[in-house]
Amino acid sequence: MQELKERIQREGKVLPGNIVKVDGFLNHRIDCQLMAHIADEFARIFDLSQVDIVLTAEASGIAMSAVCAYKFGLPMIYAKKAKSDNIEGGLYQSEIYSYTYKKKVTQILAKEWLPAGSRVLILDDFMANGEAVRGLCDIVRQAGATVAGIGIAIEKGFQGGGDRLRNMGYNYHALAVIERADEYGIAFREE
C-alpha cells in the first residue's frame, strides 16, 4: 500500500535493535483518515462477505481495527491482556511471549463474544515475531471458529512472524513489509 509505505519512510524512526517507531500515525497518535484508507485496502484484499467479526489484540491494534470494523459494517472484539488477579471463568486464554515486555502475557477473551462457527478476520497494526497473532489464532481455534484472514498494516519481514503464518497456509496479508530497518534507512520487500 503506497500511502502507508510513504508515511513509514517519511515519519518512521529507526531505533537501535531494528525497532521501527511509527507512533506518530499508527499507535500512539493515530491518523484516523489513514486508518480508513487501510480499511479500504483490506476490503479489497479480503472477501468481507465471508467474515462475521473482526478480532484484534489490546492495545495497539484497537484503533485501526475499530475504524476498519466500522467501515466494514462488522462488530469487533479484542483480546485483553490478563492481569493475574482478575481472570474469571468463561474465558478463552492464550499464553504468548511478549518481546516488548520480555515476559509471558496471557490474552483473554470472553467466550460469549466469539460464538462457535464465526468467521473471523484477525487484524493488527504490527507484525514482528507474530506472537500476538499466534495467540489470537489459538483463541479462534479454541472457540470452534475459523480464521477467514489475517490483515496486518506493517510487517517486519526480517523477524519471520509473517512468513511463518504464510507457510501455515493462512490467508495472510500485510500492507507494508519492511525487509530492512537500520542506520541506512528503511527498505520494503518487493511485491
- Which residues partner with 152 through β-bridges? 124, 174
**Least gap, CB of 18 to its own copies (angstroms):** 18
Of 12 and 157, the one with the shorter C-beta distance to its own copies is: 12
Nearest CB to its own copies, comparing residues 35 and 127? 35
Q: Residues 63, 32: contact at Cβ < 8 Å?
A: yes
DSSP string, 34-76: HHHHHHHHHHHHS-GGG--EEEEETTTTHHHHHHHHHHHT--E
CB of residue 171 to its own copies, shortest distance in Å = 22
Evaluate whether 186 touches 8 at the Cβ level (below 8 Å).
yes
Shortest distance, CB of residue 63 to its own copies, whole angstroms?
A: 4
Write out the three cell numbers for 97: 511471549
Q: Which is nearer to its own copies, 101 or 184 (CB)?
A: 101
Task: Return the SS3 of 184.
Answer: coil
In the complex with its own copies, the residue whose CB is nearer, 51 or 76, is 76
Which residues sit at the interface with its own copies, rule CB under 8 A? 23-24, 28-33, 35-36, 58-59, 62-67, 69-70, 73-78, 80, 83, 85-86, 100-101, 109-110, 112-113
The least distance separating its own copies from the CB of residue 29, rounded to whole angstroms, comes to 4
